[in-house]
Amino acid sequence: MERVLEVDNLRVCFDTPMGVARAVDGVSFHVERGEMFALVGESGCGKTLTALSLIQLLPEGARVESGSIVLSGRDILKLDEYEKRTLRGDRVSMVFQEPMTSLNPVFTIGEQIVETIRAHRDVSKREARDMAIELLRKVRLQRAESLFDEYPHRLSGGMRQRVMIAIAIALKPDLLIADEPTTALDVTVQEEILRLLKELQEEFNTSVLLITHNLALVYRNAERVAVMYGGNMVESAPSKVLFKNPMHPYTWQLLRAVPDIKRRGKRLTSIPGVVPPAYMFPEGCRFSGRCPKEMAGCSSLKPGLKEVEKGHLLSCHLYNHEFMKDRERAAPLVATRPEEGPPQAEGRGEGATILEVKGLKCYYPIRKGILKRVVGYVKAVDGIDLTIKEGSTVALVGESGCGKTTAGKAIIRLLEPTDGKIVFMGEEITHLPEREIKPLRQKMQIVFQDPYSSLNPRLTAHQIVEEGLTSLLPELGATERVERIRRVFSLVGLTEDMLGRYPHEFSGGQRQRLSIARALVVEPRFVLCDEATSALDVSVQAQILNLLKSIQKEFSIAILFITHDLGVVEYMADDVAVMKDGRIVEYGRVEELLTNPGHPYTKTLLSSVPKIDVAG
């Protein structure tokens, strides 16, 4: 088949005060005409930097040290700046992860599509407008004519992403790069966006380079997949082959970290440690130090990418006969799989009731006219009931805008409810004044979705965790506070030498552990987790879920887990409540509800969830 893109031995590096950071180090792959090729791996592995190299939009300080990038027969690295600008949008285009930061907020979406068309095609404004409206229809946006004049902030996340796709396909490029295009989207919107990309791929015979850490999406949509780690390609194969027979230890561990109902009561496989900074990569195999099969010489001798079977490329010393002949013969990879440990005790909701919610409502007035009279209400939460018992987990699921987060914040009184009844540990707190709520804050805590924005960047980790103790348990002395902080750091898998670090010095997973430590240090009875794992890599997510499970088991904490990831729900929850338009439309035990849903909306949610349908 025709190769639209050929990348050969690409090396991209930065000069840093600590040394040269080789963020992409000898990457080679190709994308064929009309296929979807996926790049997967943890944050920091070099996926996005590889993609930015293809369209020559590298961040400041980065440079291509060597290699070639041939797109439609032209080596991009040999073009001048004018030729590169001509190529972008025309022959190659990109859909970024966060459309709100990619779309210009001061221009209408129609103006932004027209700008792209007229930059590359000699057409009138009227012709460009007609083309833009047709593109909006093609990406399945209703009322295309009226949306043409809307500003980005007036659109939902899914609609904005469709606009980005419309801009990207405006000129029918040979290659469309989709960088985490569905990470922040609900499961139903996610499914719609990927289906749309597949349809456009087939219609225009466009090649798609999909960059993601969602392995199930890759399994369902990509023809071929490459796994990256530490700036290197460690495994590449046709999608179905790789998922059925993962050969690299890193690939296997990634797949075992995906939560689902089959792994309930077991520890998820998590990869110890984190991806090292690019200036600290080992000379040999980049995965050494974290690999369960590491041998003497792995960290000093770099493995090459070799074909082990037709179309299946692998970079691992385990399959290098020359490397292995003087060492003890490696056992089959299946024998090295980490022990899952004994099944964890699950909270089945037999303990005392910690929280009871009856008829909870959160209404917001709609005001119009000069006098701002109330003409109606936005019913964000419209009469929901929940019961959470000691040591159990209740999941609240639904699409963005259904009222999940509003309900959660009202339950712990970060928002004032309009009506209903909230009983916490036997005491009604629905309309308690703040001075009476404060003593209860010790027993109810929250872990937010984005730890970076919820942690004070000016405080050290010690100060962040100590802040809650000082405020909620002022009777504790300095020595006792230090002892508690050290104990909770050990509990969440952080070390004492991290106490003096600031939030920016932690990885994403470590920051979320710090957020959990801040919540646990006051010894709560109830924790609200608001999308606490949705922004994390699958391996880091496994670490956090294992941590929450073990902490819940040890301290009998009740958890309300707000999420749109039904795989996490299957693994974590005892009961699940499905929310739509401010109301709970279905509620029940997780095994029953997810295997035999009764409500059409629940069935739609479940049908949209991508699954990896191979033996684990």
Looking at residue 337, its amino acid is: R
Positive/negative CA dihedral, 201, 202, 207, 210: positive
d(CA 441, CA 472): 7
**Is the confidence at residue 451, as pLDDT, over 90?**
no
Residue 334: the pLDDT is 39
Q: From residue 206, how far is each of 37, 116, 220, 249, 541 by CA, in Å?
A: 11, 18, 18, 33, 33
Residue 331, both tokens: 């056992």
Same domain, 229 and 168: no
Positive/negative CA dihedral, 364, 368, 370, 374: negative
d(CA 129, CA 115): 10
Same domain, 155 and 261: no
Same domain, 442 and 366: yes
Same domain, 185 and 236: yes
pLDDT tens, 475-509?
999 999 999 999 999 888 888 888 999 998 887 77
Same domain, 333 and 391: no
Residue 327: the pLDDT is 56
Query: How many domains does the structure of the chain reveal?
Result: 3
Quote the domain boundaries for residue 135.
Answer: 99-172
For the domain that residue 456 is a member of, what is the CATH number?
3.40.50.300
d(CA 384, CA 148): 38
Residue 614: the pLDDT is 62
pLDDT tens, 73-107?
899 999 998 889 888 888 999 998 777 778 999 99
- Residue 329 pLDDT class (50, 70, 90 cuts): very low
Same domain, 390 and 487: yes
Label residue 368 exposed, middle or buried (CB < 10 Å: 0-12, 13-18, 19+).
Answer: exposed
**Is the confidence at residue 122, as pLDDT, over 60?**
yes
Same domain, 264 and 328: yes
- Residue 616 pLDDT class (50, 70, 90 cuts): very low
Residue 199: the pLDDT is 87
pLDDT tens, 510-550?
888 899 999 999 999 999 998 888 767 788 888 888 888 88
Of the CA atoms within 13 Å of residue 501, those in its CB half-sphere come to 14
Domain assignment present for residue 559? The answer is yes
Q: What is the pTM of this model?
A: 0.81
Looking at residue 612, its amino acid is: I
The position carrying tokens 């119009």 is: 368
Same domain, 389 and 491: yes
Strands (E), 201-276: 207-212, 224-229, 232-238
Domain assignment present for residue 73? The answer is no
Residue 97, both tokens: 């992860």
- Residue 182 pLDDT class (50, 70, 90 cuts): confident
Same domain, 146 and 182: no
Domain assignment present for residue 67? The answer is no
pLDDT tens, 260-270?
777 877 888 88
d(CA 5, CA 288): 31
Determine the average pLDDT of the residues in 114-131: 93
Q: Which of 317, 343, 369 is the last residue of a domain?
A: 343
Domain assignment present for residue 190? The answer is yes
The position carrying tokens 């039904």 is: 566
Same domain, 220 and 85: yes
Looking at the chain, how many residues does it have?
A: 616
- pLDDT, averaged across the chain: 87
Q: From residue 339, how far is each of 342, 425, 546, 548 by CA, in Å?
A: 9, 38, 14, 19
Domain assignment present for residue 14? The answer is no
Domain assignment present for residue 10? The answer is no
Domain assignment present for residue 203? The answer is yes
The answer to whether 110 touches 125, Cβ cutoff 8 Å, is no
d(CA 447, CA 514): 10
The position carrying tokens 């999941």 is: 395
Give the count of beta carbons closer than 10 Å to the beta carbon of residue 13. Answer: 21
**Is the confidence at residue 152, as pLDDT, over 70?**
yes
Least Cα distance to 319 among 330, 328, 311, 335 occurs for 330
Same domain, 271 and 284: yes
Residue 250: the pLDDT is 94
d(CA 517, CA 380): 31
Same domain, 133 and 181: no
Give the SS3 label for residue 192.
helix
Residue 335, both tokens: 């024998």
